[in-house]
Structure 1
Amino acid sequence: GVVVVAQDVTAETEMRAAQQQLFESEKFASIGRLAAGVAHEVNNPLMGINGLATVLLEDEAVAGEGREMIALIQRESRRAAKVTRDLLSFVRADDDRRADVDLDDVAREVAELRAVPQRAAGVTMVLDLAGDLPPTRASRAQLVQVLINLVTNAEDAVEGRERREIRIATWRTKHCVALRVDDSGAGIPEEVRPRLVEPFFTTKSPGKGTGLGLSLSFAITERHGGTLRASDAPGGGARFVLELPLSQGSGVRGQGSAAIG
């Protein structure tokens, strides 16, 4: 007789993919716990170093080169502390409380937060907001963090250029709300774009960035079921487009614009 053995290859492939995904998820969770522990242990002495440096700088007897060195210690300890905070934000969903969020409000908040440093750097921020956008279901704090990362990245890109302009626009489509950040910098080389999601990848000079800002922004966007894409802006510079799903029950609404800077 003939024995026929049938095997569902598709089901087996899907099972292996699910097992691999579970393995990757558990591995990432383990890395997250390790990173959180390391960040905590490193952050405690950094707080002590920063505190002692602050006390020394308050002493008027400390002057000259010694004072400059203490100020440098303070700046570097604060920079190291920021790296640990960024690392913690990357490996865990801080402040993940979801509510209906208006992207226009997020854009206005970030514009206000960055107004003073932008004026000092001669940067003009232009807002072209849809006005009365339907909401997206999200953590407002995390969306503010995403946009701050995109805007500060744009500020670095336009530094030293004759034209220093950043434009933020919002609009809606059938299924999502969208936000765009354009800058008048040199743009992002095409070969670099796939690496923007990598933690600690940066093209900035040493001490300028941690390489976590954009990777964190991509991770937050993905957690919210959205997309974040990088491309060239018309006329030069970089463009980042953020798209997020509409909150359930959102309706159709209107348009307006403003400029800051």
Structure 2
Amino acid sequence: MTRWYDRIAHDLKGPLAPLQTASYLLKSEGLPPERQRELADVVDRQARRLNRMIEELGDYARASEHRLRLRIEPCPLALVLDLAIGSVPGSAIDPRYDAGLDSVAVAGDEGRLVQLFASLIAHLQARAPGQTPELRVTAADGRVRVELLGAGPSPDAETLTAMFERADPAPHDEGLGLRLMLAYAIAQMHGGSLAAHAPDGGGLMFVCELPLAPG
């Protein structure tokens, strides 16, 4: 755990060096307007990055202690998935629904569910750039099952086991690598489940099950 804290502290320092450098240079006299804009962009970009890291860490801390605030209500699953797909740059997934499931609703917090599926999609796309993951929706026994299959090499058994238990050592979004751990916690807090599998044909599959909304 100490090593994990060390890594978090190290990663949080990442944006500070360019922030400090840009802030120092902005105080220089006679800077051309173009150079001022470049440095201002550096400050803005790194401040946003630092904010994402802090939000990610805060969300994970609250989720690990079941303190995330959830507004549970019927959420159209198709809308949740469309919002998640649209929030991931470059994503062009075309979901496949079993008969009638494109109009079902799940019981959950729309924003957190979008966050969950966006994290899974972004992870799969980062593993296999240029390859579009497949998404299929099925249902049984009052639960909906969302399968996300990405290309690329299959993780080994140890990696699969630890995928939701430890931070990603090379996060794709310049974050802290907690996105999958947070996605797992969100699924659990919705009374659902999230698992990772290595299909026989290769790649990585995420399977998320969530309760259907009553009625």
TM-score by length of 2: 0.73
Distance in 2 (alpha carbons) for counterparts of 1:173 and 1:107 = 19
* TM-fit CA distance, 1:79: 1.7
Long gaps (5+) in structure 2: 1-11
Match of 1:193 among 132, 146, 160: 160
Picking from 206, 209, 214, the partner of 1:243 is 209
Task: Please give the root-mean-square deviation of Cα atoms over the aligned residues, in Å.
Answer: 3.4
Give distance in 1, aligned partners of 2:171 and 2:194.
24
Match of 1:129 among 89, 97, 112: 97
Q: Quick check: 1:105 aligned with 2:71?
A: no
Secondary structure of the corresponding residue to residue 191 of structure 1: helix
**1:192 and 1:145 mapped to 2: Cα distance?**
22
SS at structure 2 position matched to 1:125 = coil
Q: Which amino acid aligns with 1:170?
A: V
1:234 CA displacement = 4.9
> CA shift at 1:72, angstroms?
4.3
Structure 2 equivalent of residue 27 of structure 1: none
User: Distance between the aligned counterparts of 1:205 and 1:126, measured in 2?
Assistant: 25
- Whether 1:84 aligns to 2:58 is no
> For 1:205-254, what per-residue CA distance to the aligned partner results, in whole angstroms no more than 9, with x for missing partners?
697442110000000111111110001245321100000122333xxxxx
**d(CA) in 1 for partners of 2:210 and 2:114?**
14
Alignment partner, residue 149 of structure 1: 119
Question: How many residues are aligned here?
Answer: 190
**Contact map agreement 1:176 1:243 (CA 8 A) in 2:** yes
Is contact 1:124–1:165 with CA below 8 Å preserved after alignment? Answer: yes
In structure 2, relative to structure 1, the CA distance for the partners of 1:98 and 1:182 (3 Å cut) is: same
Equivalent position of 2:9 in the other structure: none
Specify the code of the residue in structure 1 equivalent to 2:190: H
1:78 maps to a residue whose letter is R
Identity of aligned residues (%): 24
Answer with 147-156 or 123-132: which moved more: 123-132
The answer as to whether partners of 1:103 and 1:170 remain within 8 angstroms in 2 is: no
8 Å contact kept, 2:171–2:177: no
What is the DSSP-based 3-state SS (H/G/I as helix, E as strand, rest coil) of the residue aligned with 1:248? coil
1:60-108, Cα deviation, whole Å (9 max, x unpaired): 5252xx8766644543332221111011212235451110122222112
Conserved? CA contact 1:104–1:129, under 8 Å: no
8 Å CA contact retained: 2:56, 2:175: no
Please list the CA deviations of residues 39-76 of structure 1 after superposition, one character each: whole Å capped at 9, or x if unmatched.
xxx9xxx8xx69x96xx6xx85252xx87666445433
Distance 1:234 1:194 in 2: 17
Counterpart secondary structure, 1:137:
strand
